[in-house]
Amino acid sequence: MSQVNYLWWKHGVLYHLYVRSFYDSNDDGIGDLQGVIEKLDYIKDLGFSGIWLSPVFKSPMFDFGYDISDYYSIDSQYGTMDNFKQLLNESRRRGLYIILDIAVNHTSQLHPWFIESSSSANNLKRNWYIWKKGKWIGPPNNWITGFFQSAWKYDCVTKEYYLHSFLKNQPDLNWRNVEVQDEFVKIFKFWMDLGVSGFRLDMVNWLIKDKEFRDNPSRFFFKIFQKQIYNKNNNKIFPILKMIRKLFDQYPESVTIGEVFTMPPGDPELSAFYMGNGQDSLHMAFDFSMMYRFWNARLIFKTVSRWIHAVGENGWPVHVLSNHDQKRSFSRFCRGKHKFQKAKVLATLFLTLPGTPIVYYGEELGMKSIGLKKKDIVDPLGLKFWPLYNGRDSSRTPMKWNSQKNAGFSNSEKTWLPVDADYETSNVMIQKKNPDSLLNYYKELISLRNKNQALHRGKWKVHIDGKEGIIAYFRTYINESILVVLNLKNKSSKIKSSPEGALKVLFSTHLEKSTILPDQDFILMRPMEATIYSCLTSQYQTQ
């Protein structure tokens, strides 16, 4: 990019890559780092600027890498440190930046820190984790995990309970302990000195707990339904976030992205809260609201608008439609016979909003969350709650590269998760050859975004706010003005035209590029149409 002050994580488009499912280079059924290296050209060709890797640290894999047993090494399932260094070098050579996903709220129970901490009540690392004596009967308080069980596990050796906000195999770190904070500064420095450009901080809103360990208030008189006000979202986290930001500011162009997890319907103001004043805390934070929505223009617009306004002028929003924990966007939004038209309209919205879009691997193909048999489930959440909930595996299935065995993901007899049965008719190779495919649509749209500063750094001005199934807005930057118009209905509609005069088609699902609409009162929108116009004001016409 030759644009002035271009920043890869801010003005580019990022790719969220679940390593286990991307490409298996050694035919053991599990994706690996060498597989990512072999597919870097695919990622670069689509126009992405950076890659967010799911956790690759050493782990016993009770939660597939979100239970880390060594923060300074690569898990052997994914390769070696040499493989990782090669990935950094090959990515840098292509102008791609690497973001690592790291669990900061907890470690594995097999981490040497916890083994020491649990060995004795007087161990020097005892206070690295959260230990408490129980009440006269039972655990210290009523806190529950994401699995709707007590968040406390009794230890027979030291006769105290340790806190685990998730699996019992994932004991919570004590982030009030300065030694823990100092150790993570070392961890971040270690990887950034190697060439890593950023971190996605897992479950960052759980880091600080109530100092008095008060009971959470119950909902509906049931212990398992709680208002989780004491075990997370504590504002005492800000000194820690500021410390982390101060470190990252020493590494030009680096980025921190916080996972601020919330249950439906989402909480954009809470996510924005973790970015502080835009300069002193997280660079970006995830808002989950869009991942809890369905196909409704007014609702989608209100969700997007609320998030952008929550972040404010000093912050920078990040947009996601799917991730490794949630149902894929294609399965949520794109149902019925117009599913691919819907996917294109949704992609146009997603890639033209102010902020940074992160595309989850396979989203560019229209990959969906698939139904899995119980025998194929490996996610601990799915195993516990089957058949009411089949877990997160359905959104983590292998990437579909071609029509060959296992969709070209692996030559193994058995892959770690099943491949979607439609891989013979929908995969990268097939979609590459089809000029009207969703894959090529993403590629063209990302290219357009990268080339037009108004789309990746311009101001946002609403034109139509989702009423009657239409969303339209302007993106403006210096002397560029672009109008994005989206029809989420399966019928034609007339909308008021741009007040800036004639329009030239830059990109469209229905219209030929370079088509010029003269200055007129109305624009005809065809069913499921997405069109991006350049506003041809007199200023443009004279240049």
Q: Is 263 exposed, middle or buried (0-12, 13-18, 19+ CB in 10 A)?
A: exposed
Measure CA of the first residue to CA of the last residue in the chain; give whole Å.
23
Pair of tokens at residue 194: 């190697």
Q: Please state, in angstroms and rounded to a whole number, the distance separating the CA atoms of residues 302 and 466.
A: 8
| Angle subtended by helix axes 238-248 and 178-194, to nearest 10 | 30
Please, which residues bridge with residue 51 across strands?
15, 98
Tell me phi and psi for residue 404, to 5 degrees.
-80, -175
**3-class secondary structure, 525:** strand
| 257 sits in which H/E element | strand 255-259
Determine how β-strand 459-465 pairs with β-strand 516-517. Answer: unpaired
Pair of tokens at residue 112: 């040497």
CB atoms within 10 A of CB 138: 12
Q: Which residues are catalytic?
A: 202, 259
Return the beta strands (E) in 112-172 as ranges: 131-132, 152-155, 160-163
Dihedral sign for Cα atoms in the order 215, 164, 106, 9: negative
Query: Helix/strand/coil (H, E, C) string of 262-328?
Result: CCCCCCHHHHHHCCCCCCCCCCEEECCHHHHCCCCHHHHHHHHHHHHHHHCCCCCCEEECCCCCCCC
Edge to edge, the sheet with strand 255-259 lists 284-286, 255-259, 198-202, 97-103, 50-53, 14-17, 356-360, 318-320
Pair of tokens at residue 67: 């239970």
How large is the C-alpha radius of gyration of the chain?
Answer: 24
Q: Please state, in angstroms and rounded to a whole number, the distance separating the CA atoms of residues 80 and 22.
A: 17
Pair of tokens at residue 525: 């929108």
Q: Please state, in angstroms and rounded to a whole number, the distance separating the CA atoms of residues 368 and 243.
A: 39
Pair of tokens at residue 266: 């989402």
